[in-house]
Structure 1
Amino acid sequence: MRCEKCPLRAQYDKNPRSLIGRIWRWHINFCPGWKMYMKSLSENEKKELIQKYFLKSVDKN
């Protein structure tokens, strides 16, 4: 999926405090593509991303 190779996500992973990284982190709160991506993952993969990106919930509509 596109979310796995997103250049903005890579920027966040490289430097979470960068402007682009912060924009990406804010964007995933409402991005329908990110929500579909998260739903496509296994439970273990979801848990890893929830911890890595400090997500509160992935089941929000």
Structure 2
Amino acid sequence: MKKHNCEECAMRAKYDRAPKSLIGRFWRWHINFCPGWKGYMKSLDERKKDELRLKYELVSK
């Protein structure tokens, strides 16, 4: 299984601390098309996916 760095992503951590910061807003915009984030989401179980969808206000796909 491929290892994804999304759990330790520095930009994601900055978003979690300050979502309205420039880096935070960039990270949130970036995950809409990031292939790494998409692969990371696919690798998660449904419960964890649902938690992240709620936390980051993502549209279910």
Flag whether TM exceeds 0.5 (same fold): yes
Gaps of 5+ in 1: none
Q: TM-score, normalised by structure 2?
A: 0.92
Match of 2:32 in 1: 29
Q: CA deviation at 1:23?
A: 0.1
TM-score by length of 1: 0.92
Q: Please name the residue that 1:42 is paired with.
A: 45
Work out the percentage of aligned pairs sharing the same amino acid: 66
Query: Cα deviation per residue 1:17-47 (whole Å; 9 max; x = unaligned)?
Result: 0000000000000000000000000000000
Structure 1 residue ranges (4+ consecutive) displaced by more than 2 angstroms after TM superposition = none
Distance, in Å, in 1 between the alignment partners of 2:24 and 2:7 is: 15
Aligned pairs, number: 58
Structure 1 residue aligned with 2:10: 7
CA RMSD of aligned residues (A): 0.6
